[in-house]
């Protein structure tokens, strides 16, 4: 969706990493308050500002306490967040395909040699 790594909690987007920024999903009621903090900016998607999502610059989370605060904010909102699930099935789930056995190049060459007709 936005070209980053996303962390889900209870099948809902909670937070993510986009480039070197933390993408935080927070309560839209707190959006304006958190936006005023140092190193925090709006998240835009296709030119539109997304209420409830913020980008947090690395400088604003360089201390463990600062990162823990943002993780807590995202986790606190998660139970209230809407899930993007439809009809009880995650859209990203794909059927599992059976893995093919790995054959080394040496074994493949041996098989090819064995299949040659004798003269």
Is the pLDDT confidence value at 54 over 90?
yes
Q: Residue 112's Cα: distance from chain center in Å?
A: 44
Per-residue pLDDT at 7 exceeds 50: yes
The number of beta carbons lying within 10 Å of the beta carbon of residue 19 is 9
Q: Total structural domains in the chain?
A: 1
pTM strictly above 0.75? no
Segment 92-119 mean pLDDT = 57
> Is 114 among the domain residues?
no
39 inside domain: yes
Domain that holds residue 59: 5-80
CB 55 within 8 A of CB 19: no
Going by DSSP bridges, is the β-strand pair 40-45/5-9 parallel, antiparallel, or unpaired?
unpaired
Is 37 inside a domain boundary? yes
Buried b (16+ CB within 10 A) or exposed e, 21-53: bbbbbbeeeebeeeeeeeebeebeeeeeebebb
- Confidence class for position 83, pLDDT limits 50, 70, 90: confident
Residue 92 has pLDDT above 60, yes or no: no
Q: Is 65 helix (H, G, I), strand (E, B) or coil?
A: helix
**Is residue 70 a part of any domain in this protein?**
yes
Whether 75 is covered by a domain: the verdict is yes
Q: CB 54: neighbour CB atoms within 10 A?
A: 24
Q: Is 64 a domain residue?
A: yes
Instruction: Evaluate whether residue 90 is within a structural domain.
Output: no
**9 domain-assigned:** yes
Q: Which of 7-21, 72-86, 95-109 shows the lowest mean pLDDT across its residues?
A: 95-109
């Amino acid at each position: 969706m936005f070209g980053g790594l996303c962390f889900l909690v209870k099948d809902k987007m909670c937070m993510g990493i986009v480039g070197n920024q933390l993408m935080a999903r927070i309560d839209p009621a707190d959006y304006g308050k958190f936006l005023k903090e140092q190193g925090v900016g709006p998240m835009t998607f296709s030119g539109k500002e997304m209420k409830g999502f913020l980008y947090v610059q690395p400088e604003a989370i360089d201390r463990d306490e600062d990162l823990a605060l943002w993780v807590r904010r995202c986790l606190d909102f998660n139970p209230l967040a809407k899930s993007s699930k439809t009809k009880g099935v995650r859209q990203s789930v794909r059927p599992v395909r059976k893995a093919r056995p790995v054959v080394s190049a040496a074994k493949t060459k041996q098989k090819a040699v064995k299949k040659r007709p004798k003269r």
